[in-house]
Amino acid sequence: MDIITALSCNLLSPAILFFVLGVIAGKAKVDIHFSDQLERYLSLYLMIAVGLKGGVAIANISDPCLLQRNIIFTFLVSMLLGFLIPIFGVLLLRLTTQVDKMTAIALAAHYGSISIITFTSAISFLKVQGVSYQGYMVALAALMEIPGIIAAILLMRLYKIHASRDVLSDRPLIKEIASNTAVFFLLGGLGVGYLTGAQGMEKLGGVFVTPFQGMLALFLLSMGVKVARKLSPLKGFTLPLVLFGVYMPLIACIIGLLISKVLEHDLGTATLFMVLCASASYIAVPGAMKMVLPEAQESIYLTIALVITFPFNIVVGIPCYYSLAALVL
C-alpha cells in the first residue's frame, strides 16, 4: 500500500472523521462539553482494552525464545531512546527557538514519553489493514510513559534548576510515576489478557471488543474539541517552535524504523514502534512537568504536544509510518 492510499484510508476512517468533526465543532463554538470524568473514563476503557488484546496476543505466541529475545532487545533500546530523545529535543529547541531552558526541557520531555491514544489509533489502523503485531508492544507502550519524565529530572539537575531538591527523595513524583494510570491499567489489562487468553477475551468481547471503535471515536471527538479550543494561543507562537512539533516526531520515527530494521520487526510491530517513538505525551508528562518544572510555560509545551504533534500523528503520521515501514522492511 502506497502512502497516498494509506492516507486516504486513514482519513476516511470513522475515528479520524470524528476527530475532524470535533475540531470543526470547537471552532464553530458548538455548545458541546466533555467533562474531565468522561474523558478519564474513555481513556481508561481504551487502555484496558488495548492491554487485554496485547495480553492475549502474547499468550498465543508459540515460540517463547523468540518472544524473550525480541522483548529484551526492544525494551532496552526503547528505554534508551526515551532518555536520548528529550536530550536531543532540548538541543534542537535551544538552537532553533528562543524558549527558555526550563520550557525547552519540559517540551522535549513530552517526546521521550508516548501518547496512548495515538498508539491506540495506530492499532485501529492496523486492524483495518488486516496487519498483525506482537502483543508485547502494549507492555512497551506502558513502560515508555516513564523515561521522558526521568530524563526531564536529569536535565533539570544538569542545568542546575531547583538544585536544592533531592531527586532521589522526591517521593511525590516517584509515587506519581509508579501509580501512573496509563502504566497501571495497560499492564493490568495485559496481565489479565495473558492469564485468561482467548477464552477470557471472548467472554469480555461484548464490552472490550465490539464497542472499541465507537469508544475510540468518542474520545477522539473530545480531543478534537480540545484541540480546536487551544488553537487561539498558537497564533502567538514562532514558526520554528511550531515546526518543532512536526519535525521532531519525523526524526524520532526514522530512528524507530532503523531500529526495527535491525531487530527484524514485522510490519505491524515496526509501525507501532515508530508510532511510539514519534508520539508525544499530553496526559502523563504535563502533570509530571507541573511538579518537576513549575517555572516552565505550560501554554507552550502542552499546546505544541496536543495541538501540533497529536493531530499530525493521528491524521498524517500513522499512515506515513506504516507506508515507510512497508517500503523499508
Domain at 3-21+35-222+230-328, CATH class: mainly alpha
What's the distance, CA 129 to chain centroid? 20
Per-residue burial over 143-171, b = 16 or more CB atoms within 10 Å of its CB, e = otherwise? bbbbbbbbbbbebbeeeebbeeeeeeebe
- Where is pLDDT greater, at 321 or 59? 321
Residue 162's pLDDT is 47
* Amino acid in the structure at residue 96: T
Banded pLDDT at 177 (limits 50, 70, 90): low
- Distance in angstroms (rounded) separating the CA atoms of residues 215 and 213: 6
Nearest one of 244, 218, 256, 220 to 300, comparing CA atoms: 244
Set of cell numbers at residue 242: 511550531
pLDDT score of 118 more than 70: yes
What's the distance, CA 162 to chain centroid? 28
- Distance in angstroms (rounded) separating the CA atoms of residues 317 and 253: 9
pLDDT score of 286 more than 50: yes
Its pTM stands at: 0.79
pLDDT tens-digit series, residues 242-262: 999 999 999 999 999 999 999
Domain residue ranges of the chain, discontinuous segments joined by +: 3-21+35-222+230-328
What's the distance, CA 164 to chain centroid? 32
Banded pLDDT at 278 (limits 50, 70, 90): very high
- Alpha carbons within 13 A on the beta-carbon side of 129: 25
- Distance in angstroms (rounded) separating the CA atoms of residues 329 and 327: 6
* End-to-end C-alpha distance for the chain, whole angstroms: 13
In a 10 Å sphere around its CB, with 0-12 CB exposed, 13-18 middle and 19+ buried, how is residue 83 labelled? middle
* Amino acid in the structure at residue 295: E
Residue 67's pLDDT is 59
pLDDT tens-digit series, residues 12-69: 778 888 988 998 998 888 888 888 788 888 888 887 887 888 788 777 766 666 556 6
Within a 10 A sphere around the Cβ of 202, how many other Cβ atoms?
A: 12
